[in-house]
Amino acid sequence: MKIEELFTVEGYGVVVTGGASGLGLAFGEALAENGASVTLLDVDADALETEVARLTAEGYEVRGEVVDVTDHDALDAAFEAAVRTSGRLDVAFANAGIDPGPGFVGAWAGADRPRNEEGAIERYTDERWNRVIDINLNGVFATIRAATRHMRPQRSGRIIVTTSLAAIKSEAVIGAAYMAAKAGCAHLTRNVALELAAYGITVNAIAPGFFVTNIGGGHAKDPAQQAAIAKEIPMHRVGFPDDIKGLALFLASPASAYVTGQQIVIDGGWGLGIAD
């Protein structure tokens, strides 16, 4: 098989949740740039309108719809609309998520990491916990369910979940609800992959490390924050959305046809430990 056939997504129908910025936008761009028909779903109407306008002006087949993944009926309807538009559903990226708020120590600031009482487990409110779980875990479940309803009858498809390095290793600066949600997404990915393998549907996860996105109010865009965390990453730099496009294309394309139930880490080696 030629390389252009191995990684082709030409004509694919694709849905991306949380698609108006960050990694979700990168996922949508990667597939649209290679000939897919992409529907971006997001709660941020302004960002969605801006990005859809930009991508369509560049000649790509992209549409957007304002959807909150906690509204499961609206999410199901958005998938139905995307399938009517594209004529098929080949790939679904369950990507939408929110920042968990602070962990029990302060943000990356070298060896001196003072305890952060705001992030202490005994101060967690039900509202804060439930909101993170509702979007970051329940929203992924609802996205997988919506996609499966279209993919199982056709006996094919790719479902790709955005987890996190936080699903694998503990991190004191990240709120506990986020850790629980992402770990839950990782195990859900494996279990659904087991269920759907017989139907020609693969289910995999991408586990990013530190990437520069809008999550957490865009704190990752602070050069001082980037410099601090880059010292802990063996590659000595943080990740940017373009860094994830190759992995997204691999998991969405025929190149990954025999890969399912896997969580692939993309973190510049951060999870390996500090090298220098």
Task: Please list the active-site residues.
Answer: 178
Q: Which amino acid appears at position 217 of this protein?
A: G
Adjacent-strand bridge partners of 17: 41
d(CA 235, CA 28): 26
Residue 270's nearest CA partner among 174, 203, 184 is 174
Cβ distance 84 to 105 under 8 Å?
no
CB-neighbour burial class of residue 21 (10 A; exposed 0-12, middle 13-18, buried 19+) = buried
Q: Name the DSSP letter for residue 253.
A: S
Say what angle helices 126-133 and 176-196 make with each other, to 10 degrees: 30
List all residues 6 or more positions away from 58 whose beta carbon is below 8 Å from its beta carbon. Answer: none
Cα dist from 108 to 20, 113, 117, 179, 233, whole Å: 27, 7, 16, 17, 12
